[in-house]
Structure 1
Amino acid sequence: MERSNNLPEGGFPHLFHHGAVRGVTGSAHEWVASPDCSVLIDCGLFQGGDVGPAGASADDLAIDFDISRIQAVVLTHVHIDHVGRLPWLLGAGYVGPICCSGPSAKLLPIVLEDAFRLGVSRKPADVERFMARLEAALVPVPFGYWHALEMADGTVAEIRLGRAGHILGSAHVSCRLAGEHITVFSGDLGAADAPILPEPEPPPAANVLVIESTYGDSLHEGRKTRQQRLEDALVKALRDKGTLLIPAFSIGRTQELLYELEAIIHRQRGAAMHSFLDWDELPIILDSPLASRFTQVYRELEPYWDEEARERLRADRRPLAFEQLLTVDSHEAHMKMVRHLAGTARPAVVIAASGMCAGGRIVNYLKAMLGDARHNVLFVGYQAAGTPGREIQRSEQGGSVRLEAETYPIRAAVESISGYSAHGDQQDLLRFAAGIARGPEEIRVVHGDEGAKRALVDKLDTHFRAAGQPVNVWIPLQ
C-alpha cells in the first residue's frame, strides 16, 4: 500500500490522527517515532455519522491509512469506538503486538469476539482463527512502569500506562522517544467521583497532550445529585406500572448502574416505592449476554476497584450480583421478556445494549414499548450524532425515530441524566491537564463534537495563560 501520509521535513515524533477528529468515535492516533517506525494508539469503530479524515465510516471500516511503519498497537481501553477496527487492521496485514493493561487484556477478547461475529464473519473457523491471532498478539502491560517497544530501525521508544478511571482497565498512554520527549494520549477519562474505579491519575510529564473532549462543554451533576435523580427517575417511571428502559454500553456504564441501583435498593430495603410495589420487589433485568460476561470479569478483578467498592464487599454486600438482579441470556428468553413486559403491568427496570440504540437487544424493547406512554426511557450516557439514541433524546415524547428501517412513534417519556456518563466533564478534563507536573507545551483536543472541542480549547487556553504557562492548544483535523 502506498503511504497516504507525508512525513514532515523536521524532527520526530510526529502525529497523525486517523479517527476521532471529525466526531467522537473511531479513535486512532499514530505516534510516528522515525521515518520507518510508529505506534498506533487505539483502532476504533466509527459510529453514527462520524467519518475519518480519509473517508472511513460506520459503513466502510476498511483501514484507510498506511500501516507499513506501525510497530505496535497500544489500546487505552476496550470500548468499541477504540478497538472495533482491530479485525480490519489484522486483515490488512498488521502482525505486531497489541499492548494494553492487564484488565483490558481479559476484557478485549470478549469485546472483539462479539464484534467479529457481528461485523466480519459468524463462521466458527473464521472466529477461531481471528481469536487465536488476537490472543497471540496481546501483551499485558502493568500500570505505572515504562515498557520498551521493539522498533525495526533501533529507535528507542517506550510506553507507560496510567489509570484513566473510565472503565475497568482504562489507561492514558505516555509514549517516550529516546528517553526524553513524551506524548500523552488521554484515551477516555473518567469522572473524579465515578463508582467502582479509582479516579484518573495525571501522568508526571508531557511535552504533547492529546486529550478527549466528549463533555468538553459540560459539567456533570455531582454524584449525590445524580444518585437522587436516578432514584427519582425510578419512582416516576414505575408509577404507571410500566418498564424503565435504560440503554447502556455493556462494559463500564452497565456495571456502574448496577452498583448505584444496589445502593439505592440497600438504602430503601423494607420500604415501599408505591402502594403496589416495595423496593425489595423491584426486578432489575440485565438483558445482555455480553454485559453479563463483562460483569463477571468485573467481579473477578476486584483488586482494581476503589476502596469504597471493596468496603461494600467486606460488608457482605454484592454490588454487582444483588438479589433483585435478573439476567437474560438466550435470544428466546429475551424475546419472551420483551413480550411479557410490553403486554403486562409489571413494573421493571431493563438495562440492555447498545448504549446509543444503534443495535443490540435494546432495539427490540424500544420497538415494542416506545409507542406506549406507560413506559419510560432513561439515557445515562452520550448519544452520538446520527444514532437512534440521539434522535430519541432530541425528539422526546411526541416525536418519532427510525429503528431498523421502520419509523416508530415516541409516546414513552424520555429523560437523561448526564452524571452517569463514564466520561469526565469539562472540569475533570481540565483537572487532568493541569495535574501534569511537567508540561505540556502543546495540547491537541480530539474526540468530541465541534462545540465541545472549542469550549475545551478556550477553557484550557484560559487556564494555562492565567498560570503563566504558554501552551499551544488546538484542534487537529488529521
Structure 2
Amino acid sequence: MPYVKNTRSALRYAVVESTYGARKRAPVSRAERLDALQRRIEETVLRKKGVLLIPAFAIERTQQLLFDLTQLFALRPELRAKVPVFFDAPMASKVNSIYVERIGTLELYNTKSQSPLKVKPLWLSRGLLADLGLDRDNPEHLELVRAMFKVALLGSEPDGALQSAHWLPLAGAWKPIWSRVEHRKQAIARGMLDGPCLVIASGGMCDGGTSTEYLKAILGRASSTILFPGYCSPSTNGGRLLKLETLPAVHRRLLTDTLRFSDGSEFLLSDINADVAAVAGYSGHADQGKLVDWCFETLGERHEVSADIFFLGHGSNEARQALTVALRGRARDWVESGFITSAPTIESPENQDSWYDLEQARWFSGPRAPLAANGDSVFAQVEQLRAENLRLRQLLEAR
C-alpha cells in the first residue's frame, strides 16, 4: 500500500473526509478492545452457543481483528478448544500477505533538520509494541512481532523467533486460531453454523462480500450476534442493522423495512431475532476534533491552515454540515486572535449529484458536461475509471 507523508507545503485545495464530522469520540485502548471482544465471545459463543459474525473491511480492519483475536486466545488458551474461528474474506487474505511482507519495513528519519538520522519501523506503531512488551528499537523484537503477524494473519505455525522467545509470556501460546472457509455455501449447507462459532467475513457494510451469506443464515436466530467493528453508512444493510442495536425486540416487530442483497433476496427487519452490536476502537476515521485540528494546526507558537479551500466529502449530510460549522468556528476564532488574516473557504456538496468545477469555482448539480465523442475528456476518463473500479470490487468480493 502507498505510504503518504503528511505535507504542509502551501496547499491550494484539501479534500477532507467527514465520516465522523458530527462526533466527538473518547479514545479506546487496545486493552478495552480486547475486553469488548472477550465479552461478546463469552456472551454469544460460550453462553448462548450461537454464531458471532464480524463483518470486516478487507484493509486494516480485518488485520486488526485477527491480531487482537490471536492475542486474546493467547491470553486465554482455553478458548481455542471452545470457540471455532472461521475466516472467509478472499480479498483480505491477499492483503494479509502484503501486511506480513511489509510489516518489518524500516525507514530513516530525523526529528529535526540538523539531528542525526535514526531508523524506525514504517508500519508498526510504538503503542502496539509497548502493549506487547516490545521495544521498536530492538531488531530482535521487530523480528518477533513480524513472526506474530505471520501467525495471526496467515495462519502459519510459529517459527523460531516465537519458539525461542521464552522471556515473552505470550510467545508460547501465540498460535493459529482460525480455519479458512473455501466453499461457504456448501459449508453452511453441511452445518458449519449449527454449532457455536466465530466468523470473520468480508463486506464490512453487509451490502456485498461473503458476510451476506452468513447474515441470511443467522439473522433469524436469537442465539446469534452480528458485531460491527466500524462505521456503516446509514443507507447500507449494516447501517440498517445498527439501528436495531438498542431497539427492543417488541418494537422490531413493527418495522416494515428490509435488508436487500445483491442476489435479489430480502430479509425483513421485523424477522430479525439476532443481536446487533458495535465494538469501538477499530475505526481509522478521525472525529470532529481531530479533523478540525488537521485543518488548523498549532505547531508551537505557529498557527497554520492546511489549505486555502477545503472540500468536505465521505460523510453524511449531517456530518458534513456539523464539520462545516466546526471549521468555520475555528477559523473565526483564529481571525479574531490574529493568527490568520482571512478564513479559508469551506466547500461541501449539497447532495450526491453535486460536483465542483475548479475552473469556474462553483458547484453544479445533475449530469456532468457531455462526454467527448472520442472519450478524451477528463470526465470520460473519470467515468471509465469509476466503472472499472466498481467492476474490480465486484469481482474481488465475489471470489
- What residue number does 1:336 align with? 187
Given residue 249 of structure 1, which amino acid in structure 2 is its aligned partner? F
Partner residue, 2:288: 426
Q: Which residue of 2 aligns with 1:326?
A: 178
> 2:66–2:153: 8 Å Cα contact kept in structure 1?
yes
1:298 aligns with 2:99: yes
Q: Would the alpha carbon gap of residues 412 and 205 (structure 1) be closer, same or farther in structure 2, given more than 3 Å must change? A: same
Residue aligned with 2:311, SS: strand
1:218 Cα deviation after fit: 1.6
TM-score w.r.t. the length of structure 1 is 0.52
Structure 1 contact 401–410 (Cα < 8 Å) conserved: no
Residue 16 of structure 2, aligned match among 195, 199, 211: 211
| Residue matched to 1:258 | 66
Letter in 2 for 1:265: F
Tell me, in whole angstroms, the C-alpha distance in 2 between the residues paired with 1:235 and 1:312: 32
Over 3 Å counting, the alpha-carbon distance change for 1:330 and 1:321 in structure 2 is closer
Residue aligning to 2:234? 385
Identical counterparts, % of pairs: 30
CA distance in structure 1 between the partners assigned to 2:333 and 2:227 by the alignment: 40
Match of 2:209 in 1: 360
Give, in angstroms, the shift of residue 382 of structure 1. 1.9
Instruction: Report the Cα offset of residue 247 of structure 1.
Output: 0.8
Taking structure 1 as reference, are residues 256 and 219 closer, same or farther at Cα in structure 2, changes over 3 Å only? farther
Alignment of 1:179-328 (within 5 A): 201=6, 203-224=8-29, 225-238=32-45, 239-266=47-74, 268-270=75-77, 278=79, 281-302=82-103, 303=105, 304-307=122-125, 308=128, 311=141, 313-314=143-144, 316-318=147-149, 319-321=152-154, 323-328=175-180
SS of residue in 1 equivalent to 2:15: strand
User: In the TM superposition, what is the alpha-carbon distance from 1:446 to its structure 2 partner?
Assistant: 1.6
- Structure 1 segments, 4+ long, off by >6 Å, are none
| Aligned residue in 1 for 2:219 | 370
Measured after TM superposition, the shift of residue 450 of structure 1 is 0.5
User: 2:216–2:267: 8 Å Cα contact kept in structure 1?
Assistant: no
Distance 1:360 1:338, change over 3 A: farther
State the number of aligned residues: 273
Task: Compare relative contact order (CA 8 Å, sep 6+) and give the higher one, 1 or 2.
Answer: 2
Deviation sequence 1:210-253 (CA, Å, 0-9, x none): 21101111233423244432332222222211111011112221
Other-structure match for 1:49: none
2:325 maps to 458
- Partner amino acid, structure 2, of 1:406: E
Q: How far off is 1:313 after superposition?
A: 4.8
Matched with 1:414 is 276
Change (3 A) 1:441 1:381: same
SS of the residue aligned with 2:307?
Answer: coil
Equivalent-residue separation in structure 2 for 1:210 and 1:358 (angstroms): 26
Larger fraction in helix? 2
Looking at structure 1, the residues matched to 189 and 346 of structure 2 have their Cα atoms a distance apart, in angstroms, of: 49
Change (3 A) 1:367 1:432: same
Change (3 A) 1:279 1:366: same
Matched AA of 1:417 = V
Seen in structure 2, the aligned counterparts of structure 1 residues 289 and 341 have a Cα distance that, compared at 3 Å, is: same
Distance in 2 (alpha carbons) for counterparts of 1:426 and 1:339: 47
Deviation at 1:362, TM superposition (A): 1.0
Q: CA deviation at 1:341?
A: 3.6
- Find the residue that maps to 1:223 and give its secondary structure: coil
What root-mean-square deviation, in Å, do the aligned CA atoms of Structure 1 and Structure 2 show?
2.7
Match of 1:314, as an amino acid? Answer: L
CA contact (8 A) 2:308 2:344 kept: yes
- TM-score normalised by the chain length of structure 2: 0.61
1:449 offset after TM fit, Å?
A: 0.3
Partner Cα separation in structure 2 for residue 313 and residue 285 of structure 1: 27
Greater C-alpha Rg: 2
Alignment deviations for residues 406-452 of structure 1 (CA, whole Å, 9 cap, x no partner): 32421010001343223222223223222384642222212210000
Task: Please list every run of 5 or more consecutive structure 1 residues that lacks an aligned counterpart in the other structure.
Answer: 1-102, 105-142, 144-160, 163-200, 273-277
Cα separation, 1, equivalents of 2:331 and 2:348: 16
Unmatched segments (≥5 aa) in structure 2: 106-121, 130-135, 156-174, 299-303, 356-399
CA contact (8 A) 1:338 1:368 kept: no
**Taking structure 1 as reference, are residues 264 and 430 closer, same or farther at Cα in structure 2, changes over 3 Å only?**
farther
Structure 2 residue 250 is the aligned partner of structure 1 residue 401: no
Cα distance, 1:290 vs structure 2 = 1.7
